[in-house]
Amino acid sequence: MKNEKNIETRLEQLARAVRPDDSFVQSVMSRLETSSDTTQKPKPTFVRRLFMKPITKFAAAAAVVAVAVLIITQCNVVAPTFADVVGPLLNARTLIYDFVTGPEDGGTMMHDIVVESRIRRTISTMPTMTMIIDIDNANMLLLDSSQQKASYQDMRGPLHAGTQGFLDFIRTAIRKTQENSELSPHNLGTRQIDGRPAVGYQLGGGGESVIIWADTKTALPMRIELGLGLQRTTLKNFRFDVPVEAALVSMDVPDGYTVQESTIDLSDATEEDFIAGLKVWAELLLDGRFPDGITTDQYMKQVPLLEGAVVRLNIPEKEAEQMGMHFIKGMMFITLFEVNGHGRWHYAGSGVKLGDAATPIFWYRPKDAHHYRVIFGDLSVREMAYEDLVAIEPKAESVMP
Amino acid sequence: MEVLSDAMLVKEVLDGSKDAFAELVRRYERPAIASALHVLGRHHSAEDAAQEAFVRAWRQLPKLSKPDAFGPWLLKIVRRCALDMADRKKADVSLDAAAGLPAHQGNGQLDDDNRQLLNLVMGLGKAERQVVLLRYFGGHSVRQVAVIAGRSVGTVTKQLSRAHQRLRSQIKE
């Protein structure tokens, strides 16, 4: 080349030289309208359908449980300044945002489109699943684009209780402000977020906290960080009052999809389910050792791996489904732990071998109980007094009040 | 302006949203035309090939197993469409050559420097090529490119920086 201009400038010049006709997008869309194929999308191939069949049910169940991941518990320290910041959220007719459970770089990413009491949710670890949640009617439409199948899921019960809409959370927070004007959030000052100055407010503390960062110029929320026990969730990329096509949050089944009756029972999840799920996790995915952690994010990341592991077992479909459902109900037990009034839990199973009868891997104290429920590496359960637990596991002293 | 990832838009398209597909067309119109231009050399032919590629992509979208790979997948379709068109137009090109018309000059054609740079861009690895096309041809910020491609900002920054380095060194040669 003749000269040594800055490469970025050169690329910008090249890009300017590639200028599409103003009607390019319109021309493409017109061609789609006139194309006879637009309503006849190809069906999944036989191989793909065969691969998907045994795992569909529990992958769908994982998607259902995932809706409860954004649990907002009591938050009773809010103030008018905070209400100013959340005003746009309160008044927005539509709201779009992403949220990440677990570490922000590498956690499970979800994308929500909220229109009044409907949420359309997609999850990065389950790229073919879409959930339309009707919060008012405790109902969910689950769409699997890989098989063009749809099912309705009744969400009444703990799942519904754990699936508070984000806007509902804000409204609750503002109501509490009106009820108690002495409450005030902690002002965190300003920092740069995505190149823009943002002011932060922290509500709550200890095991439960909410931090809201808002644009200092527009007061629009830019980022919300939720901490609930070990669970970390970050909401970001907010967009307010973006026009949303009604079809995207419709509870009607889209054209081309066949409806399947849902046989997923997620009315409850018990300690037995949790234990059975841990066994599946250790045996199928970790060569007989327990996982490093059991947050919802860590569970969600295992779902695709579990799908592959179950298929490789080449066991009857019913049995494969049962294994998957144990795992998902275990995730549900943890996700809805506080909603179900179980209080706090602690997991200490990282690296412990399945069958180790001497090492406690998980303990919690059920509401109003005096003793702890302690699960050991051999998956036996004992009720133990605090002193007895500390005697065999000194760590318990520092991690459980 | 906030953007949605390719994967999210693909899912919305599969659920019946044409607006989502229009957004994908807007997002990739320039990268697609650039990709076709690399094969065809003529702007108006490149636009035709890019349009044909978007229509094919729409029809084949349910077969896309990784929605976050929409960009590289689309650009492959563009290249295929451009090559098909080049085959069909071989006779025309030969006639131009026979008439002594200079290649890639005049209205709708790139000058030599731009054509050489486009060749180098299209010769990058697919991940680096995608971020360069989205950043410069799509006019997106680094952060927006990260969201669109489903990568972290750090990864996109590194890929852009490597692409710049590679292009710079190849230009010097």
Domains in chain A, start-ordered, CATH in brackets? 46-259 (2.50.20.10), 271-399 (no CATH)
- The mean pLDDT of A335-356, rounded to a whole number, is 80
Q: Which residues of B touch A96 (CB under 8 A)?
A: 2, 4
**Cβ(A259)–Cβ(A322) under 8 Å?**
no
pLDDT(A112) > 70? yes
B30: nearest CB among A15, A27, A237 = A15
Determine the residue of chain A that is closest to B51 in CA distance. Answer: A28
**Cβ(A104)–Cβ(A121) under 8 Å?**
no
**Beta carbons of A145 and B62 less than 8 Å apart:** yes
User: Which tens digit of pLDDT belongs to each residue from B108-162?
Assistant: 677 888 888 998 999 898 889 999 999 998 888 888 888 888 888 888 999 999 9
- The mean pLDDT of A364-382, rounded to a whole number, is 89
Q: If DSSP codes are grouped into helix, strand and coil, which group holds residue A373?
A: strand
Q: Is A328 buried (19+), middle (13-18) or exposed (0-12) by CB count in 10 A?
A: buried
Structure confidence at residue A175 (pLDDT): 53
Tokens representing residue A214 in the block = 């808002």
B150 to chain A nearest CA, in Å?
A: 9
**Cβ(B56)–Cβ(B81) under 8 Å?**
yes
Whether the complex's predicted ipTM is more than 0.95 is answered with no
Q: Which residues of A touch B21 (CB under 8 A)?
A: 29, 32
* Number of other CB atoms surrounding residue B92 within 10 Å: 11
- The mean pLDDT of A25-47, rounded to a whole number, is 57
Most confident of A132-136, A233-237, A358-362: A358-362
- The mean pLDDT of A143-156, rounded to a whole number, is 80
DSSP 3-state percent helix, strand, coil across chain B (nearest 5): 80, 0, 20
Structure confidence at residue B153 (pLDDT): 86
- The mean pLDDT of B47-66, rounded to a whole number, is 88
With vertex at residue A295, the alpha carbon angle to CA A290 and CA A301, rounded to the nearest 5 degrees, is: 80
User: Which tens digit of pLDDT belongs to each residue from B23-45?
Assistant: 999 999 999 999 999 888 888 88
In whole numbers, what is the pLDDT of chain A averaged over residues? Answer: 74
- The mean pLDDT of A243-260, rounded to a whole number, is 87
* Better-scored residue on pLDDT, A199 or B28: B28
User: Which tens digit of pLDDT belongs to each residue from A308-342?
Assistant: 788 777 777 778 878 888 888 888 888 777 656 66
pLDDT(A44) > 50? no
**pTM reported for the whole predicted model:** 0.51
- The mean pLDDT of A142-166, rounded to a whole number, is 71
**Beta carbons of A24 and B21 less than 8 Å apart:** no
A247 vs B: CB within 8 A: yes
Question: Best of A11, A22, A34, A37 to disrupt the B interface by mutation (most B CBs within 10 Å)?
Answer: A11
A42 vs B: CB within 8 A: yes
Nearest to A131 by CA among A2, A39, A264, A37: A264
**Cβ(A64)–Cβ(A160) under 8 Å?**
no
User: Which tens digit of pLDDT belongs to each residue from A280-319?
Assistant: 999 988 989 999 988 877 887 788 788 778 877 777 777 8
Determine the residue of chain B that is closest to A142 in CA distance. Answer: B15
Band (pLDDT 50/70/90 cuts) for residue A368 is confident
Tokens 């070990």 correspond to: A230
Strand partners, A119: A114, A133
Report how far residue B33's alpha carbon sits from residue B45's, in angstroms, rounded to the nearest whole number.
9
**Beta carbons of B47 and A127 less than 8 Å apart:** no
Question: Best of B1, B9, B11 to disrupt the A interface by mutation (most A CBs within 10 Å)?
Answer: B11
